[in-house]
Amino acid sequence: MFTVLEKRRLNDSMTLMVVDAPFIAKKAQAGQFIILRVNEFGERIPLTIADYDREKGTITIIFQKVGKTTLLLDQLEEGEKILDFIGPLGTASHLEGYHKAAVIGGGAGCAIAYPQAKALHEMGAKVDMIAGFRNQDIVILEEEMRAASENLFVMTDDGSNGNKGFVTDALKKQIEAGVNYDLVIAIGPLPMMRAVCELTRPYAIKTIISMNPIMIDGTGMCGGCRVTVGGETKFACVDGPDFDGHLVDFDEAILRTRTYREDEGEATREYNCRLMEGAKNG
Amino acid sequence: MAKPNMNPKKTPMPEQEPLVRNRNFEEVTLGYTDEMALEEAQRCLQCKHKPCVSGCPVNVRIPEFIQKIIEGDIEQAYHIITGTNSLPAVCGRVCPQESQCEAKCVRGIKNEPVGIGRLERYVADWYMKNKEREPVKTEPNGHKVAVVGAGPAGLTCAGDLNALGYSVTVFEALHTAGGVLMYGIPQFRLPKEIVEKEINVLKANGVEIQTDMVIGKVLSVDELFEMGYEAIFIGSGAGLPSFMNIPGEGLVGVFSANEFLTRINLMKAYKEGYDTPIIRPKSVAVCGGGNVAMDAARSAKRLGAEQVYIVYRRAEEQMPARLEEIHHAKEEEVILQLLTNPVAIHGNENGRVTDIECVKMELGEPDASGRQRPVEVKDSNFKIPVDCVVMAIGNSPNPLLTKSTEGLETNRHGCLVVNEETLETTREGVFAGGDAVTGAATVILAMGEGKKAAKSIDEYIKVKK
């Protein structure tokens, strides 16, 4: 059992939790993730390690409420416990040796992109951070991202912060202005990561993406998370989640994430109904 | 001694009707009643030279426990079995007795052998139902041993070391102990409640089990030594699934048997109230001919699939699955598509499986192992319409631990290299057994290796101090 030490709602859909997990905190590195199970009927879901504190023995996770399990997790209060919390899993990001990097986060992906920007920044690389959100109201981690980068460009789909456009618009502008990136990291929804890869491909800028396929065990025993990279089958939970974005088969990955869409919709609807009933009854 | 029962056939065990059971996940075989057990026990000739015992990888004292059944002392029969076997209710159900104890039974020369597995199961189930097992506490000897992996090998090793007075901690990567007994073998062959009960006995005896601990990631082998463990047993199994590397394996609806079975067995995706989803296919092709393939095919039936095909490239006589499993699968209307090899999987515009393309095979010259090698029949391609494909063509050891540990040698199959006498690996103080060493094998062989390793570890630590 793993205690929630701190809980903060970052906006309407995103929550940050600091969890007591000393063994994991001792080993965690940027780019790795944990698998958790909320209760005994629960499913196992992967979440990226957004931060860790080796001294305090804590792991920070940031999650978006997108379905039953994340809604359930969001109900836990400080002092309450998560049944299973397993990690650190996956291969740590290789961030050494870069000089000028663009780190791009899309929505909830910013929570995963931020520790990468921070790690690069601490290794002495110059970092431009590009963060994309639907609108100004859901911008998260703005202060933290600013502290980890030379330039921070926050883009909104609707222009509600004065910067209308997609993350690719900002990246394109920088590249065309002559900024010489030797690394681009893109983390967010698959179509957004694909768009970034298509943009950087002609410039041959090394582009790392963080895959987010369906996972069960997260230790390489089932292959549920397999992705095709450069024509080879890779397991994202052990070989990744970071991959060379120019080699990833995005079409396949996008179709595979839709495997259980109907079941997921039903589970979430049922859960919400029960919540509403609960609210009515007491 | 009373005259033995000379009935040439084993006393039949009641089972659920095939076309009823292939729609539910309840146990297929229902076990012996007291009368049936007595009748079957009387078929044992009580041989002086006990060939059956040598056929058992953990040498259960078979004629002795059977004699106790005849005397009506089931409690004593249980103690005789558990003297050498820590998971009797499991072994009685899933051991391939036909190639082990029962293969050596004298009655089996002319007629059917004594139903040793069925009797072992009867005794274990009787005890679970009627007795509270008193924890067996031993005087601690002050030494600590770590066991990596809570499958049959690790649990047996831990149980034996604990009985010798060692303080044992088992580290398990998943959230539940049991290994393949929990995530692999389905409920209808091995009810999970039984596995949990057997594991609880070990815990009550003092074995500590820490779940959610992925050794190699959260702690290294070196750190375990630093924490004061004087020896380590690796029983991490063979959990890395193989795919066929044919086109279309990335389509939605293609699973490794490990994923398919883990969702069903460990996560209980088939049961109301559990959050893990599973697709409910209409028509399924399971590629492979081993027990795992049978488990996946029979599970697919129970999820409601109308057509379930076992696609296997050799003939039925060459299938590695137990005869009983093949027999049960056929009764449940699983279709054997033999001498057939998949070459591609096709899908629709949504990336979902629509059919599997196969070629016919014929048996050619015997290979090095003496088995006739299947050869492709030219231009024999045909398609089987399915919406789900399960790959059950084998597993190899997971490299997670060996990749992160220096000095642990593996062979080209990824199996740990050990001294065959002692089961010590290429690193001092680190022992290994079960599928991590042999590649995918059986529960009872893994338990046998767990026992052997416990003995070696005891000797190693005694010499060291």
Q: What is the pLDDT of residues B413-436, one digit of tens each?
A: 899 999 999 999 999 999 999 999
The two tokens of residue A100 are 């000028």
Per-residue pLDDT tens for A102-131?
999 999 899 989 999 999 999 999 999 999
Per-residue pLDDT tens for A191-210?
999 999 999 999 999 999 99
Per-residue pLDDT tens for A135-154?
998 899 999 999 999 999 99
Q: Check A217 against B263: CB less than 8 A apart.
A: no
Q: What is the pLDDT at residue A258?
A: 86
Reading phi first (left if > 0) and then psi (alpha if -120 to 50, else beta), residue B253 is in left
Give A51 to chain B, closest Cα distance, Å.
16
Nearest by CB to A256, which of B173, B212, B252?
B252
Q: Check B217 against A220: CB less than 8 A apart.
A: no
Binning pLDDT at 50, 70 and 90, where does residue A271 land?
A: confident
Say what percent of chain A tops pLDDT 90: 82
What gap in Å lies between CA A262 and CA A265, rounded to an integer?
A: 5
What integer best gives the mean pLDDT of chain A?
Answer: 93
Q: What is the pLDDT at residue B399?
A: 86
Query: Does residue A273 carry a pLDDT above 90?
Result: no
Prior bond of A241 cis (ω within 30°): yes
Q: What is the pLDDT at residue A278?
A: 61
Per-residue pLDDT tens for A51-108?
999 999 999 999 999 899 999 999 999 999 999 999 999 999 999 999 999 999 999 8
Under-70 pLDDT residues of chain B: 1-2, 465
Q: What is the pLDDT at residue B1?
A: 55
- pTM for the full predicted model: 0.94
Average pLDDT over residues A159-176: 94
Nearest by CB to B175, which of A37, A69, A255?
A37
Angle of helix B62-70 relative to helix B74-82, nearest 10 degrees? 170
The reply to whether A81 touches chain B by the CB within 8 Å rule is no
Q: What is the pLDDT at residue A282?
A: 47
Closest C-alpha among B215, B234, B149 to residue B433: B234
Angle of helix B116-130 relative to helix B62-70, nearest 10 degrees? 60
Give A235 to chain B, closest Cα distance, Å.
10
Place of tokens 């209308």: A164
Q: Which residues of B43-59 are buried (b: 16+ CB within 10 A; e: fewer)?
A: bbeeeeebebbebbbbb
Quick count: other Cβ atoms within 10 Å of Cβ B383? 12
Kind plus residue range of the DSSP H or E element containing B234? strand B231-234
Nearest by CB to B217, which of A27, A69, A221?
A27
On chain A, the residues whose CB falls within 8 A of the CB of B250 are 226-228, 233, 249, 252, 256
ipTM of the complex: 0.92
Query: Does residue A281 carry a pLDDT above 70?
Result: no
Q: What is the pLDDT at residue A279?
A: 60
CA A50 vs. chain centroid, Å, equals 8
